[in-house]
Structure 1
Amino acid sequence: MSIKYIKGKKVYLRPYETEKDKEMLYRATFIEESNLFTGTTKPFTRKKIEQYVDKVMAGDDTRIDFVIVRHEDDEPVGEVVLNEISNRNANIRIALFDTQYFNKGYGTEAMQLMLNFGFGNLQLHRIELGVYNHNERGIHVYKKLGFKKEGVLRDYLFYNHRYYDLILMSILEDEYRELYLNGRFTKQK
């Protein structure tokens, strides 16, 4: 049984901890739709993934990585990461590891839990992200969570013979707290 570090209703977040996590992340690199959403253009070997997870598990003051796990069966479904943590600012990124986990609310809840952790526990002031313009579902979720569009990096990603814009978005601590305290998000248990 995994340690449920941050608990939500559908999912919980926990640190990377097992060989199964490495295998799950390696398999995820072959999901074309996920790669398009994350902008992943290079193939990864098992060894590179293992080195990455080992580095994450060793710890780094500039990032916090969590595996997203379903409550119902303790199945890992993705990861959510706060990285580039510096001067009360951070970048956030999320990936679900298989299309079967899309549109079930796992990503939305994981993002909300991580925002709560970032603004509440880490006392961050600003959290930013980049999302590609073709990821309409992601853009919708980020707006629902309170992120505001800051700008666009045109033709930022070249993927499979096409260019995609990168939309920059952020949320500030007072914007998040207003949503949180007004009951837009459920409080953690």
Structure 2
Amino acid sequence: MNTRNFLELKGDLIYLKKLDPEYIEEYWDSFKDSSIESMIFTGSTLQFSKANIERFLEGIVNDRNRIDFLICLKESDIIVGEVVINEMDMGNRSTNFRILINKKEDFNKGYGSEAMLLALNYGFGMLNLHRIELEAFPYNERAIHVYEKIGFVREGIRRDGCFFNHKYYDVITMSMLEEDFREKYEHSGDLLIYE
């Protein structure tokens, strides 16, 4: 089975669909009005234009070291964010992971947690990954709480690893191993078996 063509992962509130150039208009529409809070929590300092996004999409289409998913509401198909498995190192079966909810009004609704579980399940179950890591900033306490609730473990701190708005911030590294995921979700109904 070619897992890269598995386009939709469905949850209760949201579904994930693989980002593709055909979605450029709706992706740009969701992205262009991102809340300042989303940019702060992700440490983003870049200014994005539609042309930048188009070039980005062209560049990732054939990148075999990443899978970008759009987070879409089941009831309306509106894109509320993205979750990305990137920097895959299949020799070590490890990868980086990131998530973004675009607008503040979509925070605290469970979209991010559900998107993370779907993407983690895909990473461990379909891509046969062993280790998935992410980075968080100490000032994003809400996200750190969610990551720990899902099962990520703090591993260490990269001191002054990020410069944002005239100040350096530490970067917290967190990870989850495949056995952590299976142990936590095997009997909960959140472990999806694809048929």
> TM-score of the superposition, structure 2-length normalised?
0.88
Aligned length: 184
Match of 1:15 among 1, 15, 18: 18
Consecutive unaligned residues in structure 2, runs of 5 or more? 1-5
CA distance in 1: counterparts of 2:26 and 2:166, whole angstroms: 32
1:117 counterpart = 2:116: no
CA RMSD of aligned residues (A): 1.8
1:170 has 2:175 as partner? yes
Query: Which amino acid in 1 is paired with 2:97?
Result: I
Alignment check: 8 A CA contact 1:80 1:93 kept? yes
How far the C-alpha of 1:55 sits from its partner, in A, is: 2.3
Q: Provide the TM-score with structure 1 as the length reference.
A: 0.90
Distance 1:130 1:174, change over 3 A: same
**Structure 2 match to 1:84:** 87
Quote the residue 2:136 is aligned against.
131
Unpaired runs of 5+ residues, structure 1, are none
**8 Å contact kept, 2:182–2:191:** no
Tell me if structure 2 keeps the 8 A contact 1:4–1:12.
Answer: no
Q: Matches of residues 133-172 of structure 1 in structure 2 within 5 Å?
A: 133-172=138-177
Question: 1:62 and 2:61 equivalent?
Answer: no
Q: Residue by residue, what CA displacement relative to the aligned partner does 1:115-159 show, whole Å, maximum 9, x if unpaired?
A: 000000000000000001111111011101111101001222222
Tell me if structure 2 keeps the 8 A contact 1:11–1:70.
yes
Is this contact kept in 2: 1:26–1:46, CA < 8 A? no
Separation of aligned partners in 1, 2:112 and 2:149: 12
Runs of 4+ in 1 over 4 A off after TM superposition: none
Offset at residue 25 of structure 1 (A): 5.2
Structure 2 Cα separation of the partners of residues 42 and 25 of structure 1: 16
Q: Is the 8 A contact 2:133 2:175 kept in 1?
A: yes
Residue 123 of structure 2 corresponds to residue 102 of structure 1: no
2:67 equivalent to 1:48:
no
